Amino acid sequence: MASSSTTTQTAGRTARPGLFPLGTALASLIVSAGQAAFNFPTLLVEWQKRSEMRRHLAQMDARLRADVGLTAADVRREAEKPFWIS
């Protein structure tokens, strides 16, 4: 039986102390890249919606802006953001 001084628990697995869990880090990176590739079409749709919403927001007249509680400066600040920034 191993004592806690000779082994560590990492996500339910036993690892030798002093070793960087490089395999775990690489696996995590690969999974993240795979998820990003899988979500890319979703991201494109989100960017398009965000761009359209900002364009509509910029076209609002003062009465509509007041109805939603926004100032002209609020609208300008939001409309000037690039589509990839939320």
* Average pLDDT of span 9-36: 61
pTM (global) more than 0.75: no
Contact between residue 25 and residue 31 where contact means Cβ atoms under 8 Å apart: no
* Average pLDDT of span 34-56: 85
Q: Where are the domains of the chain?
A: 40-86
Q: Which of 9, 25, 23, 79 minimizes the C-alpha distance to 51?
A: 79
One-letter identity of residue 29:
L
Residue 72's SS3 state is helix
pLDDT bracket for residue 25 (50, 70, 90):
low
Residue 40: what pLDDT?
A: 82
